[in-house]
Amino acid sequence: MRRPPKDTEESARRITRRGLVLGSAMVGFMGVLAGRMRYMQVDQAEEFRLLAEENRINIRLIPPARGLIFDRNGQPIAENTPNYRIVIVREDVDDLEQTFAKLRRLVPISDDDAERALREVRRRSPFVPVTIVDQLGWEDVAEVAVNAPALPGVTPEVGLTRHYPLGGDFAHVVGYVGPVSDYDLSKLEDPDPLLQIPKFQIGKIGLEAKREDVLRGKAGTKRIEVNAGGRVMRELSRQEGQKGADLQLTIDTGLQNFVNARLGDESAAAVVMDIRNGDLLAIASAPAFDPNLFVRGISVNDYKALTEDDHRPLADKSVQGTYPPGSTFKMVTALAAHEAGVVTAGETIYCGGYKTLGTRRFHCWKRGGHGYVDLHDSLMRSCDVYYYELAERVGIEKISEMARRLGIGIRHDLPMSAVAEGLAPTKAWKQVRRQETWMVGDSLNAAIGQGFVLASPLQLSVMTARIASGKAILPRLVKSIDSVEQPILTDGPLGLSPTTLSQVRKAMFSVVNSRRGTAYRSRLLPDEMKFAGKTGTSQVRSVVVNNNNVPWDQRDHALFVCFAPFDAPRIAVSVVVEHGGGGSSAAAPIARDIVARALEGALPPLEVYPAGERPKIAEIFEEMPLRGRDGAANGSDRA
């Protein structure tokens, strides 16, 4: 049925109105969208552009190359070597455990290393690369690279790691580096962002730790583009960091190797110091250890072996160890008494084998006594009674004051770990530390280097250098930093009587070169090698015992100090052999060989020794694990 025209017109009007309403709504909506788009794209364009850039661009740190360490002749002591490693990014891995299992079939990863790496991966942000294993060979890295499609998120990389080519020779001096630990971070108020990089290495002990400030260098940066999930898309720019400063030490590698080899299996230490400028030419502690074991993290078994060794290889006996100096301290007492004017050089004192103080006898090492002795004889023959008498006259305050003037009881400023202060005791010290009054008997014991007196091998070498030179020479370990020479340190003249110093030196010469001297068997024959020295034996028990009849750790310590050549002193040497028994038998022969090696600049010929000593010396040299044909490193200097 056909609709009337009137209805048709009405329907058309309604459709038109609805179309206009809908059209108007659509136009209004489009206007709102256009306005919003204009607001976002024009009015807020700069803000959104900044937000986009921040979300798109990340800045990451580039670890700098650590500064190198050389000996005085330019031979590398600590260097950086390529380190092939495998890293993983957790966000790119579908199944972490399965990926680890695949990887372990390609490269050797121990259970401990795998467990440690998994903990680290889960602890870090998902987009941070974490090192799974390092120190790999090129074959292992190539194997991983070939299988990369089956190992999503796993990438082989190459970086730098620390290496110590001379092994244990410089272990106690240079120390070692290791990965940053939570304990390391806890000690810093404002840690360098570099320290947050996984496996980043810092100095742990020794020079590596003490000069971390110059060895570390400054980080570089790289700008990378990442997606919304933080995945790296590409590298946009790179600014390399500043390499750490190179250090050159005063130590001579050839001499250092000889000293370590000569100490051998003893629990001992030796220091060789250049009298002219304070340079430490060698400073060794035995037994040593391989610092390369610590760079990656030492195994439990290796660390246990070091800590349970009764010879304490981890301890640096040269600067940390303090010992009663025994008779090597007698020069201090002699100088204190003669400078105070309580005795003259030609005055004799009778030694009948002991000195009586109240009801107690203080014995000389020679039970029958030495008879009448003066300064020269008392040092040459190491008479104890002479020094008991001097101590009673001069008192402990002047003795300790002289000890500090000669470098004992002073913490010398060296970039090494736990440098000991030693002890030059006073009445006030005993009252404060022990709540006891100082007794005259304490002074008598101190006069011969027993009782409370303590000195390190470093301090004994400083004492000897000052006696030989008459100057307050200070030890120096770092020769230059980035080729800039470091200052030679000295506190000026000692202010001691040249006559008294000369008499002490002559007496020390007789110790070695007179038939009645306690170190006569350790002399050298050439005039240009003749040296002056002093033996010492310090008790570790209050009761005098026969060292051959007690366990090793209850025997006396053996000490020897010397300077050479006598006519024009260039080097001072100190040797301490823990539980060695006697200074003349254990320490003096080692010091003699060190003197000969330092003055010769290479392994000394047998002709410099007395004929009767040559077969024994030849055997010792044959068994020593020296580097090179004659024990001299490349470019080794004569002292």
218, 248, 278 - which closes a domain = 248
Inside any domain, residue 636: no
1-10, 198-207, 501-510: least confident range? 1-10
Looking at the predicted structure, is the pLDDT value of residue 193 above 90? Answer: no
Catalytic center residues: 327
Regarding whether 380 and 407 lie in a shared domain, the answer is: yes
Looking at the predicted structure, is the pLDDT value of residue 618 above 80? Answer: yes
Question: What CATH number is associated with residue 164?
Answer: 3.90.1310.10
Regarding whether 271 and 187 lie in a shared domain, the answer is: no
Alpha-carbon distance of 5 to 504, in angstroms, equals: 143
Q: How many domains does the chain have?
A: 2
233, 248, 263 - which closes a domain = 248
Alpha-carbon distance of 254 to 631, in angstroms, equals: 6
Tell me how far CA of residue 247 lies from CA of 86, 135, 252, 292, in angstroms.
31, 25, 14, 19
Higher pLDDT, 64 or 62: 64
Model confidence at 153, pLDDT cuts 50, 70, 90, reads confident
Write out the residue range of the structural domain in which residue 205 sits. Answer: 59-248
Looking at the predicted structure, is the pLDDT value of residue 229 above 50? Answer: no
Regarding whether 279 and 236 lie in a shared domain, the answer is: no
Triad 333, 339, 341: Cα angle to 5°: 105
Alpha-carbon distance of 17 to 21, in angstroms, equals: 6
How much of the chain exceeds pLDDT 70, in percent? Answer: 88
Inside any domain, residue 384: yes
Regarding whether 349 and 261 lie in a shared domain, the answer is: yes
pLDDT digits (tens, 9 = 90+) for 359-406: 999 999 999 999 999 999 999 999 999 999 999 999 999 999 999 999
The per-residue pLDDT for 105 is: 86
Q: Is 483 helix (H, G, I), strand (E, B) or coil?
A: coil
Q: What is the mean pLDDT of residues 72-81?
A: 96
Q: What is the mean pLDDT of residues 468-481?
A: 96
When the pLDDT of each residue in the chain is averaged and rounded to a whole number, the result is 88
Q: Is 201 helix (H, G, I), strand (E, B) or coil?
A: strand
Exposed/middle/buried for residue 247 (C-beta within 10 Å: 0-12, 13-18, 19+): buried
Model confidence at 489, pLDDT cuts 50, 70, 90, reads confident
| Bridge partner residues of 87 (DSSP) | 131, 155
Q: What is the mean pLDDT of residues 155-159?
A: 80
Q: What is the mean pLDDT of residues 244-259?
A: 97
What token pair was written down for 567? Answer: 């006519």
Looking at the predicted structure, is the pLDDT value of residue 632 above 70? Answer: no
Question: What CATH number is associated with residue 612?
Answer: 3.40.710.10
Looking at the predicted structure, is the pLDDT value of residue 636 above 50? Answer: no
Inside any domain, residue 147: yes
The per-residue pLDDT for 578 is: 96
Model confidence at 576, pLDDT cuts 50, 70, 90, reads very high
The per-residue pLDDT for 598 is: 97
Looking at the predicted structure, is the pLDDT value of residue 51 above 80? Answer: no
Pair 576, 267: CB distance under 8 Å: no
pTM for the whole structure: 0.85
Looking at the predicted structure, is the pLDDT value of residue 470 above 50? Answer: yes
Alpha-carbon distance of 60 to 235, in angstroms, equals: 10
Helices 253-263 and 588-600, packing angle to 10 deg: 160
Alpha-carbon distance of 607 to 613, in angstroms, equals: 10
Helices 96-106 and 138-146, packing angle to 10 deg: 130
Inside any domain, residue 2: no
pLDDT digits (tens, 9 = 90+) for 493-518: 999 999 999 999 999 999 999 999 99
Looking at the predicted structure, is the pLDDT value of residue 638 above 60? Answer: no
Regarding whether 71 and 122 lie in a shared domain, the answer is: yes
Pair 511, 534: CB distance under 8 Å: yes
For 511, half-sphere exposure in the C-beta direction (CA atoms, 13 angstrom radius) is 34
Output the 3-class SS for 432-450: HHHCCCCCHHHHHHHHCCC
Model confidence at 54, pLDDT cuts 50, 70, 90, reads low
Regarding whether 221 and 343 lie in a shared domain, the answer is: no
DSSP of 21-55:
HHHHHHHHHHHHHHHHHHIIIIITHHHHHHHHHHH
Model confidence at 633, pLDDT cuts 50, 70, 90, reads very low
Triad 433, 439, 445: Cα angle to 5°: 90
pLDDT digits (tens, 9 = 90+) for 398-456: 999 999 999 999 999 999 999 999 999 999 999 999 999 999 999 999 999 999 999 99
Model confidence at 26, pLDDT cuts 50, 70, 90, reads confident
Inside any domain, residue 273: yes
The per-residue pLDDT for 402 is: 98
Alpha-carbon distance of 269 to 257, in angstroms, equals: 13
- What count of other Cβ atoms lies within 10 Å of the Cβ of residue 110? 11
Q: Please report, in angstroms and rounded to a whole number, the separation of the first and last CA atoms in the chain.
A: 130
Q: Which of 550, 391, 403 is nearest to 462 (CA)?
A: 403
Inside any domain, residue 209: yes
Regarding whether 234 and 368 lie in a shared domain, the answer is: no
pLDDT digits (tens, 9 = 90+) for 298-337: 888 999 999 999 999 999 999 999 999 999 999 999 999 9
Pair 217, 242: CB distance under 8 Å: yes
Pair 459, 412: CB distance under 8 Å: yes
Amino acid in position 602: A
The per-residue pLDDT for 142 is: 86
For the chain, the residue count is 639
Q: What is the mean pLDDT of residues 572-586?
A: 96
Q: Which of 246, 248, 217 is nearest to 478 (CA)?
A: 248
The per-residue pLDDT for 255 is: 97
Higher pLDDT, 561 or 101: 561
Regarding whether 436 and 403 lie in a shared domain, the answer is: yes
Inside any domain, residue 629: no
Regarding whether 215 and 349 lie in a shared domain, the answer is: no
Regarding whether 467 and 354 lie in a shared domain, the answer is: yes
Tell me how far CA of residue 407 lies from CA of 151, 329, 397, in angstroms.
62, 12, 15
Model confidence at 634, pLDDT cuts 50, 70, 90, reads very low
The per-residue pLDDT for 4 is: 66
Regarding whether 261 and 235 lie in a shared domain, the answer is: no
Pair 444, 364: CB distance under 8 Å: no
Beta strands (DSSP E) in 89-145 are 130-136
Looking at the predicted structure, is the pLDDT value of residue 149 above 50? Answer: yes
The per-residue pLDDT for 133 is: 82
Pair 292, 302: CB distance under 8 Å: no
CB neighbour burial string for 410-423, b if at least 16 within 10 angstroms, e if fewer: bebebbbbebbebb
- What count of other Cβ atoms lies within 10 Å of the Cβ of residue 39? 11
Inside any domain, residue 13: no
Alpha-carbon distance of 318 to 222, in angstroms, equals: 45
Regarding whether 269 and 235 lie in a shared domain, the answer is: no
Amino acid in position 487: P
